[in-house]
Structure 1
Amino acid sequence: MLSKYKLNQLYFKDTQFANLMTRRIFNILLIANPYDAFMLEDDGRIDEKIFNEYTSLSLRYPPRFSQVSTEEEAFAQLESMPFDLVLCMPSTGDNDSFDIGRQIKEKYEHIPIVILTPFSHGITKRISNEDLSAFEYVFCWLGNTDLLVSIIKLIEDKMNLEHDVQEVGVQLILLVEDGVRFYSSILPNLYKFVLKQSQEFSTEALNAHQRTLRMRGRPKIVLARTYQEASEIYHKYQNNILGVITDVRFPKVERGEKDGLAGIKLCAEIRKDNPFIPLIIQSSESENSLYAAKYGASFIDKNSKKMDVDLRRIVSDNFGFGDFIFRNPETGEEIARVRNLKELQNILFAVPAESFLYHISRNHVSRWLYSRAMFPIAEFLRPITWNSLQDVDAHRKIIFEAIVKYRKMKNQGVVAVFKRDRFDRYSNFARIGDGSLGGKGRGLAFIDNMVKQYPEFDEFENASVAIPKTVVLCTDVFDEFMESNNLYQIGLSEVDDDTILRYFLKAKLPDRLVEDFFTFFDVVKSPIAIRSSSLLEDSHYQPFAGIYSTYMIPYLDDKYEMLRMLSDAIKGVYASVYFRDSKAYMQATSNVIDQEKMAVILQEVVGNQYGDHYYPSMSGVARSLNYYPIGDEKAEEGTVNLALGLGKYIVDGGMTLRFSPYHPHQVLQTSELDIALKETQTRFYALDLKNVGEEFSIDDGFNLLKLHVKEAENDGSLHYIASTYDPHDQVIRDGLYPGGRKVITFANILQHDVFPLARILQLVLKNSEQEMRRPVEIEFAASLSRDKDRAGTFYLLQIRPIVDSKEMLDEDLAQVPDASVVLRSDNSLGHGVMNDICDIVYVKTDNYSASNNQAIAWEIEKINQQFLADGKNYILVGPGRWGSSDSWLGIPVKWPHISAARVIVEAGLTNYRVDPSQGTHFFQNLTSFGVGYFTINAFINDGVYNQEFLNAQPAVEETKFLRHVRFEHPVVVKMDGKKKLGVVLLPKDDAR
């Protein structure tokens, strides 16, 4: 009956409220003599009244009125601008607005014309003799601006009815009444009620923009004045009618005689067709109440003083408005009341079966959902009636699952405003504050929306794709924190990082956040990552990757202790804006620090708990451009670096597993035994759940543990991730076997597709690149289920553009002779031409030892500062892997310490051969700044490093480990990113 497929269909069909109510009335021409116009305005301005009416009902776009009093004026106005509606007020004077109206209709037949008559006996009589075929409606003016709103809305509803019903199944209320006097007072009453109700239900929306759009999904009101018209409307839209309100005495056909029982006949016809649709009979003849009882209709006496109140109450109770009330079918007493979807979901299984049955068999639930503009779920539930299912519990389950699906779908891809009573496990992304989300925040909101738009993400058997639960503290919270605690002075001063952090930790966050944070803890129930999301970070052309702090805190049952940790972490991220490295970085990128504002992302940490450790099964960085293609990989197929544990390991340049998502079976590192044993991950990062951050430190990794892979084996987290080395047979076997060293190969995932990682990454990279219209880099993590069911969730953590310099090279660099280059790399990263560099700084290779790498890093930092101060750039050459956190692998510089270098060269020595590293923040910064990265192993004829030439030049400066050479003419750098070739040409006067 209820296939998974059908529920999935429901998932994708979100309501495009923006496509509803597209035809509007913007300009109204009012034809009335000055006196009537004045009476109409009641010496106040109509525009202003309508504007106030509109704003009090949260309606947008109030129309503008233009008032004329003669035929000439009317035609002059109509020629000068387009009108959507003409209102004629017939007066007792010579100017006959009926005639004017008819003449306008002849010339402008598309414009609806409405007669608005002051209520008097004479005029009523006169109307009965007029030919009214040119006019849409005749209304009776009772001195109330509400009526104008109703006229406008009635005509807009009529214009949009057919389209909106077909588009999403918008509902309508059918009012059958031919008495001008009566419908002129009933309509304002009904509209006011419906608009107020739609304001209420729009609270299901997740932010202000959505709320305004949702109001477009409100039920429409349709007025029929004859039996024939009412019957046609009913049969055309019978599946979309919330209820019918009918008079008793009205004509069968237009301009026909009145039929004293027309309304009763209409009820009989409708009841034959639908036993449950709510009917209301209004009549000034009280004996008609007997008919009402016969057809299960409510009765309203038109002579009653409280007719308005009665009508509102009955519409509210029966047409699905207001709260949903579960009643006892025997006594009619209230059993439970729900105000919104979340409450309905919570109470579904607790409602007694007989009450539940009473409501579903009468379609009450779907009617309530329709009236609240929740079309996908109402549409889905309506055909599932008691007759089709005959099982109360199955019914509860279906409604429950449909609500869950619907709420997940509504929350996805939307930046909701954080509301304590609404944030729950189906919420995805919310913001606190009205400022900017910052770079990462925007990226996350963007990915969340992308996952929603592409149905393929939902089609993996054993994997779901999502973003972690996220709440963003917008930049205005940062401003408030900085100002209320007077922190700018200390932040912008020259004191050291520790002092800045101490000041920030002492400061106070706004009190109102406390309850919000508690709600977030209750929902997430897992460790929380506190990430920076600054305005400048990840802005398209100057990524600030890895410059600011990201803290993680464990989940504790003691929410006050957790609150303390969270507050400290947020202040720590705020403080990192003013740390020394950030300031150096700002200078390097010519940004002004006081333009930097920080949003903070609070996000559940992806992973599983193993004793006191917490970490994901894998985390990684994927890029849609691969400047290091190996074998039959193509540059545009992208590349992925994958590791066990937290992503900090990759960011710090640890040993990761690199593969192309289109060739997951070809992994270079696991292709040969000795490489696999030497070049795979041996350590990983996990969050230490015992460390509750008593001493918050400027090192954001103070509570992360760098563990040996053996620990993961003890945790039992290596299923499908590790292979086992068998020393006897000298082979590595995919999977876990007792004894033998465990090697992190992800073999079962990449080779045997236990979890569809490669396919998900292909989709993610393809769709993100398409949506961003440029190459992208993505950070992700995945947690596999602890059970052996191979299921898991793939989480997208961040997306940012890879900035590529578009300077195209039309020459073939392979043709440049070796004799004219200082450096040549056949494995370079970067693209473009630089012709303004005169300096080269290189690490001396005589007596080089890796044990001096830390000292070399300090010397380079000093020289780099000098270049920054002079506003110049240089080429940096040295052995090993730049920026490695392991000083035995290379010189452990951080990005700010070499930020003035435009080309960085890894030059291998005979005993110190380098494989190019890629995928760290270090590399993200290289590519964003268009920095070239050359790998040269000249001793095996892999490239050229003409060190004799450099040694022969006079040094501007020479230290224990470094030599700095400057030329009179620039050395020209050329890089071809697609072919991975790079050259640095000899300066002009030295070219031989």
Structure 2
Amino acid sequence: MLSKLKLNLLYLKDTQFANLMTRRIFNVLLIANPYDAFMLEDDGRIDEKIFNEYTSLSLRYPPRFTQVSTCDEALTQLKNMTYDLIICMPGTGDNEGFDVARTIKAAWPSIPMVILTPFSHGITKRIANEDLSAFEYVFCWLGNTDLLVSIIKLIEDKMNLDHDVKEVGVQAILLVEDSIRFYSSLLPNLYKFVLKQSQEFSTEALNAHQRTLRMRGRPKIVLARNYEEAISIYNKYKNNILGVVTDVRFPRTERGEKDGMAGIRLCAAIREQDPFVPLIIQSSETENMTYASKYGAAFIDKNSKKMDVDLRRIVSDNFGFGDFIFRNPDTMEEIARVKNLKELQNILFAVPSESFFYHISRNHISRWLYSRAMFPIAEFLKPITWNTLQDVDAHRQIIFEAIVKYRKMKNQGVVAVFKRDRFDRYSNFARIGEGSLGGKGRGLAFIDNLVKRHPEFEEFDNARVAIPKTVVLCTDVFDEFMETNNLYQVALSDADDNTILRYFLKAKLPDRLVEDFFTFFDVVKSPIAIRSSSLLEDSHYQPFAGIYNTYMIPYLDDKYEMLRMLSDAIKGVYASVYFRDSKAYMQATSNVIDQEKMAVILQEVVGNQYGPRFYPSMSGVARSLNYYPLGDEKAEEGIVNLALGLGKYIVDGGLTLRFSPYHPTKVLQTSEMEIALRETQTRFYALDLSNCGHDFSIDDGFNLLKLHVKEAEKDGALNYIASTYDPYDQIIRDGLYPGGRKVITFANILQHDVFPLPRLLQLALKYGQEEMRRPVEIEFAATLSREKDKTGTFYLLQIRPIVDNNAVLDEDLTAIPDDRLLLRSYNSLGHGIMNDLYDIVYVKTDHYSASNNQKIAWEIEKLNQQFLDEGRNYVLVGPGRWGSSDTWLGIPVKWPHISAARVIVEAGLTNYRVDPSQGTHFFQNLTSFGVGYFTINAYMNDGIYNQDFLNAQPALHETEFLRHVRFERPMTVKMDGKKKQGVVLMPEI
């Protein structure tokens, strides 16, 4: 019995179709007298005919023909240019054509040479007396350009056969025929059929590029002209023969004498080795039909007027081409028919046992898969025969699981074209439209491909690595939406955000998308995130992180209600391109808003449902560069911020658990009980499944719930994630215990390795950074199983580059005397030198109260706008955490409100101690633009903040809360990112 284990070990390696058919014929030299050449062209250009023939069969690279009519011209051409094939047409009356051919062959023995003779009785007789051993093949011209395609393909097949069979197990069809007249008409027929079939099966490919490549995996055709050649080809490739078509009478001894039974002997020899390989006998002697039935072969009468039709039909039925037909073994009636892998998978368990047994005991299924170039799965199923398994249901199960595994593998790392009949639960990533995927879309496609190429991600028993199911509406859908609804005028105007959103919501998306969305709903069956993926977002040098909106919608059974929510969300994301903050940001980064185009990502939301709410066990952000290394941590080992619930909590600068994936057991926040209790996550975000988005707003978090961690405990979502504080023993215990406050420590995952999160993050950061060739930031989420079986799925949501400013800084900043400094931080973020800053804006500390933080934010926004208008930058100093959405933790500015600041300083006050800001997008924008970020607590002797000096300078602008000082000479800023030190020097007076 085939154990389940074997299937789990089945690592289906993807077929590299690009490595197949690598040897091609690009240039053909045609030697023919002008009359024959004219007959051959039949008043039309040969290149054009071949080109049309190639394009109708979706073939690439049609060869170029050069035509000459004498031996001398041919030799001149051969000296000046490289040819891959020579076709020689000896004229009807002269024998010298053959001599010319032999002369050329002697001079250029390595170039394959084919003789093409016009068909007439005279020539057939003459050929009989010629020595043709110098030539690869002799063909008979019957006035059909198909023959030229067949000649080229036959020789290409011969050149590539050995390599392609070894590489992936490409199949071969063996044609045994010695009559030039017959194989000249059979081959075009066979090739046309095989190429047409491969066009059909290439629809299994997920996009146009893959489709073209897949055609390289089509079966090859090999021609044998005598018994010895046929048997040696069969023996060499017997594991890869799709079927054999043979004549009966052909030469069988070294002397070349014909044997009237050669074909029958060949069938007998093959049947001894393989009882199931399909055989087709063709003969003009009908008595050979009895032999055909003896060896289980199909028979074709060569005298029949419809011989080609018969051949096509029998090859299609027997060699695994076309649809797979399940038949009743007694009556041979059709029971079911499948067109592709998905249909086969769906019907496997419904086919009656006797029909299923009939097909598997004859290798029909693996042959069908081979003919469709699905080598990994065909290869796996071929040895599992009836003799090895003897159990129909186990066989069904194995085929089903192999198909599932193959389809998952094929879908991973590929941007498929969205097809309604093809998109199902094994689909991973598809696109609607022809435009760009945008920044986030590209990042997702890249990370999906990265996971596929590194099998190490597969080696965890209790963790699966994936990206959520994703469909991208490409940028051309955005263009169409904007143009058909005439939205540019209002979008680029100074209208406020609400007005712009109202216009966008009233507009109409293209109707053709409706059915696509319904298909997506059916497959995903979970809440959907609608995320922005603009052209400029997450681009390598100027990441636009967190500027545009991301909406989430719940999953409903009423698909029309869902369609309404989805359409509103897509329009909301489109509208956010033109919101005030986005325009300010565009201005700050010197981009032109007209050039911004928006793709939209529709993606299943990662998480579990708990009653009316939905959220993941954990979400986080990992960065491969850690400018806050603590203890043994190294800057290049990276850093992770982890939280319970949806990732918006991290983006908004909430309290997260910070750890290095290489030192998961050493977590600063949980090292002391007091810190652990004070610095733990107390709230989390969940999607409200009961909110149907009737009050759709510019705030993309309108349907998110901000809940207390106690709620997650009630949901049963804290297994392995929380520890319990025991107030009696004054200790925090890893795990959930009754009573006592729950602390989000992720201790069972980080300390006790219940789920391999640190190792997965190490891999993702390592490969992400290696392949992007620069530091990266990765967003992820994970869901742990509701059963307590310690399994889970790790989802990669996004990867983007952190643009690292490697300004050279060799100076020891500690050597600079304090009296020359305005600011010194021993906990700074950023790297490099700036010496063009004249302005400093700081929050006054006398009578400061956190209750005024919102007012201070508005004042800063106004000042920042002035700086932008004047094209100036400044240093910004204030208490607490910048960019926090919680006004008690710090001043709630958004990035566009302080986008002209080049250095931002968190200056602690004695009564106001907040940890350095870690809001993801905030952080991301700091690093992208090389903005310095200093944390100073001067009252704790942690750094210097020379406010007395600033207070003594005249203010250019002063309000109740702020002072703005401008110097005549610039301040100099120096930051050492690896040592986490930063200074701002006083201007030289």
Give the TM-score normalised by structure 2.
0.99
Q: How does 1:410-559 map to 2 (within 5 A)?
A: 410-559=410-559
**Pairwise CA distance, 1:917:** 2.2
The answer to whether residue 935 in structure 2 is matched with residue 935 in structure 1 is: yes
User: Contact 2:783–2:792 (CA<8 Å) still a contact in 1?
Assistant: yes
Aligned to 1:955: 955
Cα pair 2:7 2:398 within 8 Å, conserved: no
1:184 corresponds to which residue?
Answer: 184
Query: Deviation of residue 92 (structure 1)?
Result: 3.3
The 5-angstrom pairing of residues 245-394 of structure 1 reads 245-253=245-253, 256-394=256-394
Letter in 1 for 2:499: T
Do the aligned residues in 1 keep the contact of 2:168 with 2:375 (CA within 8 Å)?
Answer: yes
Q: CA separation in 2, counterparts of 1:482 and 1:106? A: 68
Counterparts of 1:255 and 1:237 in 2: how far apart (Å)? Answer: 26
Distance 1:762 1:804 in 2: 20
1:11 offset after TM fit, Å?
Answer: 3.2
Amino acid at match of 2:49: K
How far the C-alpha of 1:729 sits from its partner, in A, is 1.6
TM-superposed deviation, 1:547: 0.5
How far apart in 2 are the matches of 1:711 and 1:411? 38
Q: Deviations over 1:394-422 (max 9, x none)?
A: 11111000000000000000000001001
Structure 1 residue 747, shift from structure 2 partner? 1.1
Q: Which amino acid aligns with 1:887?
A: T
Q: How does 1:664-813 map to 2 (within 5 A)?
A: 664-813=664-813
1:222 corresponds in structure 2 to 222
- Paired with 2:377 and 2:8, the residues of 1 have a C-alpha distance of 12
For residues 430 and 352 of structure 1, the distance between their equivalents in structure 2, rounded to whole angstroms, comes to 35
Q: C-alpha deviations, 1:724-757, integer Å up to 9, x for none?
A: 1112222111111111111111111111111111
Distance 1:197 1:254 in 2: 37
Q: Distance in 2 between matches of 1:79 and 1:332?
A: 60
Contact 1:271 1:295 in 2 (8 A): yes
Q: Which residue matches 1:876?
A: 876
Tell me, in whole angstroms, the C-alpha distance in 1 between the residues paired with 2:6 and 2:765: 28
Counterpart Cα distance in 1 of 2:602 and 2:366: 37
Map of 1:405 onto structure 2:
405
- Separation in 2, partners of 1:2, 1:405: 16
Contact in 2 for aligned 1:720/1:754 (Cα 8 Å): yes
Q: Is the 8 A contact 1:826 1:981 kept in 2?
A: yes
Q: How does 1:915-926 map to 2 (within 5 A)?
A: 915-926=915-926
1:12-46: per-residue Cα shift (whole Å, max 9, x none)? 41000000000000000000011111110100000
Structure-2 residue corresponding to 1:579: 579
**Equivalent AA in structure 1 for residue 786 of structure 2:** R
Give aligned pairs, total: 989
CA distance in 1, matches of 2:155, 2:382: 29
Aligned partners of 1:226 and 1:254 also within 8 Å: no
How far apart are the structure 1 equivalents of 2:522 and 2:218? 34
What's the counterpart of residue 237 of structure 1?
237
State the partner residue of 2:114.
114
Tell me the equivalent position of 1:860. Answer: 860
Give the root-mean-square deviation of aligned CA atoms.
Answer: 1.0
Identity of aligned residues (%): 85
Given that 2:750 and 2:757 are in contact with CA atoms closer than 8 Å, whether structure 1 keeps it comes out as: yes
Cα deviation for residue 628 of structure 1 reads: 0.5
SS at match of 1:21: coil
Shift of 1:950: 1.2
**Structure 1 equivalent of residue 649 of structure 2:** 649
Structure 1 Cα separation of the partners of residues 248 and 178 of structure 2: 10
- 8 A Cα contact 1:914 1:937, kept in partner: no
Where in structure 1 are there 5+ consecutive unaligned residues? none
Q: What residue is the counterpart of 1:74 in the other structure?
A: 74
Kindly state the Cα deviation for residue 850 of structure 1 after the two structures are TM-superposed: 1.1
Residue 3 of structure 1 and its aligned partner are, at CA, apart by 5.0
- SS of the equivalent of 2:769 reads helix
1:202 aligns with 2:202: yes
Alpha-carbon deviations, 1:761-786, whole Å to 9, x = none?
11111111111111100000101111
Tell me, yes or no, if structure 1 residue 598 matches structure 2 residue 598: yes
How far apart in 1 are the matches of 2:150 and 2:833?
67
Alignment-mate amino acid for residue 61 of structure 1: Y
Separation in structure 2 between the aligned mates of residue 759 and residue 98 of structure 1, nearest angstrom: 70
Deviations 1:174-220 (A, max 9, x none): 00000000000000000000000000100100000000000000000
The answer (yes or no) to whether the contact 2:12–2:405 under 8 Å persists in 1 is no
Partner of 1:52: 52
Amino acid at match of 1:315: V
- Residues of 2 paired with 1:471 and 1:218: CA distance? 30
CA–CA distance in structure 1, aligned partners of residues 796 and 255 of structure 2: 66
Counterpart-to-counterpart distance in 2, 1:680 and 1:272: 74
Give, in whole Å, the separation in 1 of the partners of 2:693 and 2:311: 62
Quote the offset at 1:255 in angstroms: 5.7
Matched to 1:372, the amino acid is R
1:896 is paired with a residue of what secondary structure?
A: helix
Aligned position for 1:828: 828
- Name the SS of the counterpart of 1:646 in structure 2: coil
Please list the CA deviations of residues 712-735 of structure 1 after superposition, one character each: whole Å capped at 9, or x if unmatched: 111111111111111222211111
Distance 1:946 1:112, change over 3 A: same
- 2:7 and 2:634 mapped to 1: Cα distance? 39
Instruction: Verify the 8 A CA contact 2:12 2:376 in the aligned structure 1.
Output: no
Conserved 8 A contact 2:435-2:474 = yes
Partner of 1:100 in structure 2? 100
Structure 1 residue 5: Cα displacement: 5.8
Do the aligned partners of 1:441 and 1:601 also contact (CA within 8 Å) in 2? Answer: yes
How high is the TM-score relative to the length of structure 1? 0.99
Alpha carbons 1:245, 1:281 under 8 Å: kept: yes
- Is the 2:833–2:975 contact (alpha carbons within 8 Å) kept by the matching residues of 1? yes
Q: Which runs of 4+ in 1 moved over 6 A?
A: none
| Distance in 1 separating the partners of 2:343 and 2:919 | 46
- Give CA deviations for 1:290-311 in whole Å, capped at 9, x if unaligned: 1111111111110000000000
Q: Deviations over 1:348-380 (max 9, x none)?
A: 111111111111111111000000000000000
**What is the CA deviation profile of residues 120-143 of structure 1, one whole-angstrom value per residue up to 9, with x for unaligned ones?**
111111111111111100000000
Q: Secondary structure at the match of 1:357?
A: helix
1:691 partner SS: coil
3-state SS of 2:956 partner: strand
C-alpha distance in 2, partners of 1:633/1:148? 67
In 1, Cα distance between equivalents of 2:97 and 2:943: 92
Q: Distance in 1 between matches of 2:940 and 2:409?
A: 57
3-state SS, counterpart of residue 957 of structure 2: strand
- Please say if 1:986 is aligned against 2:972: no
What's the secondary structure of 1:11's corresponding residue?
coil
Mapped pair 1:33 → 2:30: no
Tell me if the contact between 1:170 and 1:375 (Cα under 8 Å) persists in the aligned partners: yes
- Matched residue type, 1:803: V
One-letter code aligned to 2:706: K
CA separation of 1:22 and 1:310: change in aligned 2, threshold 3 A: same
Task: Give deviations 1:485-518, integer Å, cap 9, x for gaps.
Answer: 1111110011000010000000000011000000
Displacement of 1:7: 3.3
- In structure 1, the residue matched to 2:22 is 22
d(CA) in 2 for partners of 1:316, 1:57: 18
1:676 positional shift? 1.2
Q: Identify if the C-alpha distance between structure 1 residues 968 and 5 changes in structure 2 by more than 3 Å, giving closer, same or farther.
A: farther
1:94 Cα deviation (Å)?
Answer: 5.2
